[in-house]
Amino acid sequence: MCAIIIPEKHMHYPVLLNEIISIITPQYGGTFVDCTFGQGGYSSKILEFPNTKIIALDRDKDTLKKSLDLKRNFENRFIYKNLKFSQLQNLKLKNENIKAVMFDLGFSYTQIKDKKKGLSFDVKGELNMKMGLNDFSASDVINKLDEKELEKIFKFFGEEKESKKIASAIVKKRKKQKINTENLVQIIESSKKIKNYKIHSATKVFQALRIFVNKEISELIYGLINATKVLKKDGIIVVVSFHSIEDKIVKYFFKGLSETKSVSRYMPKINTKKNLLNVFSKKPILPSSKEIKENPPSRSAKLRYAIKKEDFYEFETDILDKFKYLIDIENYSKKL
């Protein structure tokens, strides 16, 4: 995962870069964790400031080439690991003075156009959608899970209104042949009652499959939990999301650790615990009209951030319970 790119120029375009730099203030130095290294847009910018250090993670092994460029230029200030960000705790960072942990949950133009990854509905051949360190592919999902399971994946991960009809058509089709990318696009298009000419008919189903294949729900939840644990007091978590499910998870997590809840809305709030995070705005930061004009895919980006107020690492959060219904759907993968 990484930042959006300007398709016309095929150049890297890290979304909301200026806003993030103003929030994390690398000009004052410090160690920063880039959980979605991608093409290195955020890391490269931060390393321009002399007293900074980057610990970069990415599950996509194809990002290694770009990481080697930064390693050559910033040998003592740049560390790269081919890991999922849910594995952040494996790095044992409690002794590091982490100033900020950053997540950019988008995908690059390079990744979308990579035929091997199969993220685009324009690609032909076998369904894939594996971003790295995966156990199964989109082909396994489409050709092996039952109709009801497919319906729920499309409905809850893609917010696809025709999920039931599409799932039924997939099951019928796969009795005759193994379904590939072209077959799936044809099934989706023929299942749609109303065509939306602004958005490709297959967009929501492909989003749902990508989320499922890469377990993006649990990845994000555990990434947020572990990021909060490795931060010291005054450390910052920054998240740029691109669809509503991601944003709901981030918003709920930040809210739960920044507000003292009362038993009843008619009773005053009781300070039974310290709030771990400080959130300065309930509303996300959005790209400027100038950025959207230069890079249209950035229009769906939402930036939220929170600052850690206390120096402790174990805390309670009900986020796993809140989104249990989505994690239960992810767990259909155990059948594959």
C-alpha dihedral sign at 331, 191, 144, 59 = negative
Cα dihedral 21, 24, 57, 213 in deg (nearest 10): -80
Contact indicator for 276, 258 with CB cutoff of 8 Å? yes
Written as tens digits, the pLDDT of the chain (336 aa) is 444 333 444 455 799 999 999 999 999 999 999 999 999 999 999 999 999 999 999 999 999 999 999 999 999 999 999 999 999 988 988 778 899 999 999 877 677 777 777 788 888 889 999 999 999 999 999 999 999 999 999 999 999 999 999 999 999 999 999 999 999 999 999 998 777 767 889 999 999 999 999 999 999 999 999 999 999 999 999 999 999 999 999 999 999 999 875 444 444 554 546 789 999 999 999 999 999 999 888 999 999 999 999 887 788 999 999 999 999 999 999 999
Last residue of a domain, one of 213, 244, 269: 213
Range of the domain at 38: 5-110+216-324
- 3-state secondary structure at position 220: helix
CATH code, domain carrying 299: 3.40.50.150
Whole-angstrom distance, CA of residue 3 vs CA of residue 14: 5
Residues 15 and 103 in one domain: yes
- Of 190, 213, 236, the one marking the end of a domain is 213
- From CA 199, how far away is CA 190, in angstroms rounded? 15
Give the 3-state secondary structure of residue 165: helix
On whether both 252 and 187 belong to a single domain, the answer is no
Establish if 119 belongs to a structural domain: no
Query: How many domains, the chain?
Result: 2
Q: Rounded distance, CA 232 to CA 230, Å?
A: 7
Residue 79 located in a structural domain: yes
Q: What tokens were used for 217? A: 């729900």
Strands 30-34 and 52-57: what pairing? parallel
Residue 292 lies in a domain: yes
Show which of 178, 213, 248 is a domain's final residue. Answer: 213
